[in-house]
Amino acid sequence: MIIGIGVDVVDVERFGRQLERTPGLRDRLFVPAERSLNLRSLAARFAAKESVAKALGAPAGMNWQDCWIGLDEHGPTVQVKDTVAGVAQAKGIKRWHLSMSHDGGIATATVIAEG
């Protein structure tokens, strides 16, 4: 059963300017394993995290460090802990589906939360 769907689009150049303009933003938004990725990959991961938040109903108090995008043999995966995992558990989410892409200066992600 689908519990939530989220989609987000990020302008890669604009996102890069925000990272340059705001010291510490990269550290607040991304876990250590993500921080060294190129700008397009960071923008896609930010879109994915935003999509997770939307699939959860944009809960208050979500910590960006409690959601990250990993990789397995099938591609990118949504990983959650603490604040995000708690909301997901309360909503009965057992599985995440994620698609990410970047092209022509735009990064996008779609997340489906399944129970």
Q: What is the CATH number of the domain that holds 82?
A: 3.90.470.20
Could you give phi then psi for residue 61, rounded to 5 degrees?
85, 10
The answer to whether the beta carbons of residues 7 and 108 sit under 8 Å apart is: yes
Q: State the pLDDT at residue 62.
A: 87
Structural domains counted in the chain: 1
Q: State the pLDDT at residue 112.
A: 98
Q: State the pLDDT at residue 110.
A: 98
pLDDT in tens, 6-63: 999 999 999 999 999 998 999 999 999 999 999 999 999 999 999 999 999 987 888 9
Q: Which residues pair with 100 in a beta bridge?
A: 109
Q: What are all long-range contacts of 27-35, with beta carbons under 8 Å and residues at least 24 apart?
A: 28/64, 28/65, 29/64, 30/64, 30/68, 31/65, 31/68, 33/68, 33/70, 34/68, 34/69
Q: State the pLDDT at residue 21.
A: 97
The answer to whether the beta carbons of residues 104 and 80 sit under 8 Å apart is: no
pLDDT in tens, 70-109: 999 999 999 999 999 999 999 999 999 999 999 999 999 9
Q: State the pLDDT at residue 60.
A: 82
Domain containing 62 equals 2-114
Radius of gyration from C-alpha coordinates of the chain: 13
